């Protein structure tokens, strides 16, 4: 299994623990990630300004992967959505394709159909498969309880993902968590948006959206919230202190990337999973695992 690793904007500077842990578990599973320097931003932030510019950016990234003969594995859900959506639009509308390729010609590139785009969680679920995922497990996480945050663009809009999981009642990430022996719990508002996309437009609304989730996760009584998107993590973890201060609350809810959870079950050193970069320290969680260390 070989993929071009699409990091996007947030991960290489603000989500190194996601990148480190994804690379570590991929290595355990024999997934080869190819680093592609010419990849840019996926195009998502341009959608509000100009959808056609956003699509040109997405198409350029897909063209870069296509030139290398590689499929794309994404870690960020917004990147997954934008690249997948652009691909569907370009393949369905020859007029849009002609305009976009006209732009790409300016930089000697051409979008051609055929590059597959998959979120890393989907790669693990579909391409690796749950049985194979269990094989490297050396540590049972059955003492831990997690709440899963799906975020929006991993499964929505549904039509671009062609029937993968059910956006109204999803199960794939819980199944991925179960591979480690850990328990997952349902909680109110599980499918709710983190608000990250409008943090710059109206911080008050965005933080209240994240606060609602933190409240609900606290009620669920879990060891951590599991995320599969860097910007959702920015909202729930990086901004958790700000939310606590603004609303006079105390949450202290650790937010772990799924590959960090899987990596713990694989016995990978927490340092290699980037746990030092987790802003809400999962101290109690680590203690339950018998002082695996490395979290401080």
Per CB under 8 A, residues contacting another protein are 7, 9-10, 12-14, 16, 19-20, 23, 35, 37-41, 45-53, 55-57, 60, 89, 96, 103-104, 106-107, 109, 152-153, 156-158, 167-168, 191-193, 195-198, 200-202, 204-206, 208-209, 212, 274
Residue closer to another protein (CB basis): 68 or 158: 158
Taking the complex as a whole, the smallest distance from the CB of residue 144 to another protein amounts, in Å, to 25
Between 103 and 183, whose beta carbon lies closer to another protein? 103
CB of 24 to another protein, least distance (A): 10
CB-wise, 53 or 130, nearer to another protein?
Answer: 53
Q: How far is the CB of 222 from another protein (least distance, A)?
A: 21
Pick from 103, 7, 8: nearest CA to 55: 103
Q: Cα separations (Å) of 147 from 100, 144, 171, 278?
A: 41, 10, 12, 17
| Residue (of 279, 270, 184) closest to 230 by Cα position | 279
CB of 135 to another protein, least distance (A): 25
CB of 257 to another protein, least distance (A): 15
User: Based on CB atoms, which residue is closest to another protein, 141 or 152?
Assistant: 152
Q: How far is the CB of 116 from another protein (least distance, A)?
A: 21
Task: Indicate the residue among 111 and 184 with the shorter CB distance to another protein.
Answer: 111
* Cβ nearer to another protein, comparing 96 with 130: 96
């Amino acid at each position: 299994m070989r993929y071009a690793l699409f990091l996007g904007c947030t991960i290489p500077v603000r989500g190194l623990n996601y990148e480190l842990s994804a690379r570590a578990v991929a290595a355990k599973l024999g997934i080869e990630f190819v680093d592609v320097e010419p990849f840019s931003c996926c195009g998502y932030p341009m959608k509000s300004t100009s959808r056609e510019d956003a699509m040109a950016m997405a198409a350029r990234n897909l063209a870069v992967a296509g030139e290398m003969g590689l499929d794309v594995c994404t870690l960020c859900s917004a990147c997954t959505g934008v690249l997948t959506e652009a691909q569907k639009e370009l393949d369905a509308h020859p007029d849009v394709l002609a305009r976009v390729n006209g732009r790409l010609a300016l930089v000697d590139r051409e979008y051609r159909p055929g590059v597959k785009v998959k979120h890393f969680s989907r790669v693990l679920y579909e391409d690796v498969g749950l049985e194979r995922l269990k094989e490297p497990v050396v540590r049972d996480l059955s003492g831990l309880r997690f709440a899963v945050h799906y975020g929006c663009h991993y499964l929505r809009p549904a039509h671009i993902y062609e029937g993968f999981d059910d956006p109204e009642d999803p199960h794939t990430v819980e199944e991925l968590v179960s591979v480690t022996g850990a328990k997952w719990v349902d909680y109110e508002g599980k499918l709710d948006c983190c608000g990250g996309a409008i943090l710059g437009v109206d911080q008050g609304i965005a933080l209240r959206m994240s606060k609602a989730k933190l409240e609900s996760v606290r009620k669920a009584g879990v060891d951590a919230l599991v995320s599969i998107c860097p910007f959702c993590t920015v909202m729930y973890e990086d901004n958790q202190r700000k939310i606590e201060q603004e609303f006079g609350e105390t949450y202290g809810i650790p937010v772990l990337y799924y590959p960090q959870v899987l990596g713990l079950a694989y016995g990978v050193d927490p340092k290699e999973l980037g746990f030092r970069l987790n802003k809400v320290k999962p101290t109690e969680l680590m203690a339950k695992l018998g002082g695996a260390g490395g979290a401080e």
